[in-house]
Amino acid sequence: MTVDLPQPSPDTRAPWVIATRESRLALWQAEHVRDLLMQRFGRTVTLLGMTTQGDQILDRALSKVGGKGLFVKELELALEAGRADLAVHSLKDVPMELPEGFVLAAVMEREDPRDALVSPRHASLQALPQGAVVGTSSLRRLTQLRALRPDLRIEPLRGNLDTRLRKLDEGQYDAIVLAAAGLKRLGLGERIRQFIDTDTMLPAAGQGALGLEVRAAHPELPQALRALAHQPTWLAAAAERAVSRALGGSCSMPLAAFGDWQTYAGQDVLRLRVRLGHPELPGILSAERCAAVRTLTDAEVLGREAAAALRTQAEAQATPGWLGAPPSAP
C-alpha cells in the first residue's frame, strides 16, 4: 500500500537579497551570511553581485579618490532602490558615518584581526633585507612599517586579494602585507609567512569583522539580524570606530584602533589601543584606555576618550597635519 506523506509547505515569502561586491572574498562573506540566514530562519536568500567604484579604480590610492566608501556606495543604492535587503561588508571598509536611513544591524564575530606578511622568500618583517620592496596602499600600514623598518621601500598595492597575490608572485614585490582574516577565509592561510602581532602593527578599526547594513525602516531585518551578532566583537568595533569618528578619520588619516577583552580583578574590561601616524613624517602617536563596556554607548565613550588622548598629543606637536591635511598657506 502506498502512503502519501505530507509535503512541506513551500516558503512563499519573498527571498531576502544580499548585495555584495563580486570579489572572491566578498562573495565568500556574503555566502557565509546567506547560509547562516537560511539555517536560522528557513528563508530563501539570494545574492546580488555588484562591481563598485572601489573595485574599478585601481591606479590611484583610495585616499585620493574618495576613500573606502567607494566600496559600499553602489550596495547602498541597491538597498535604497529595494533591489536588495541587506549588504555584507568587511567592517573596516564601512565609512564611520552611514547615510541617513541606513544602520549597521549587526556586527558578526571577528576573524583573526592581525595583519599578515606574505612573501615567497622571507619569513618575517625582521628578515626582510635592507631596501626590500613591500606592497601596501594602506597609510596605516605604511606609517607603522616606516616606524619599524625605515630602510624598507614601501610601494602602492591595489586590487582584490587575488590580484595582490598575483603581483607578488610576478616578482613586483619582495613581500606584501594583507589582513590575515581574508587569507584565512579563502583557505589561503598557508601563504602567510608571519602573523604580525598587534603590539607590532595595530589593526584598522573593525578589521576581521563583518558588518551587516540594512535600511533602518526594513520591516524584518534589523531585529532578525541581531541573531547573527557577536556582542563582544560589536562592542570592541564600536569603540574602534568611535575613535576614527571623533578624529574625522578617513583613508587619508593613518589611524589604527583595536579593542580586545582583558580580565582585571575578575571583571571583563575592554582595552582600546590607538595609534596615529603622520602621512609624510616619521613618528607614531599612541594611547591606551580601558573600561568596563556593556553597551554601545559605553563603547562610544571609550572611543572618544582614546581619541581625545591622541588629539592632545597631536596638538602638542609643532608639525601641522597630524589630524588631517596640513593647513593651506595664507
- Residues involved in catalysis: 93
Q: Which residues contact 147 (CB under 8 A, 6 or more apart)?
A: 277, 282, 283, 284
Question: β-pairing, 102-107 with 45-50?
Answer: unpaired
Whether residue 209 contacts residue 91, with contact meaning beta carbons closer than 8 Å, is answered with yes
From CA 173, how far away is CA 156, in angstroms rounded?
A: 10
Q: Residues of 101-132 as b/e, b for ≥16 C-beta within 10 angstroms?
A: ebbbbbbbebbbbbbbbbbeebeebeebeeeb
Task: Give yes or no for a contact between 85 and 214, defined as CB atoms under 8 angstroms apart.
Answer: yes
139 within 8 A of 63, measured Cβ to Cβ: yes
Return d(Cα 209, Cα 181) in angstroms, integer. 8
161-169 and 24-41 helices, crossing angle to 10° = 140
d(CA 300, CA 27): 31
94: phi then psi, degrees, rounded to nearest 5 = -90, 125
What distance separates the 2 farthest-apart alpha carbons in the chain? Answer: 95
- CA nearest neighbour of 159 among 261, 21, 295: 21
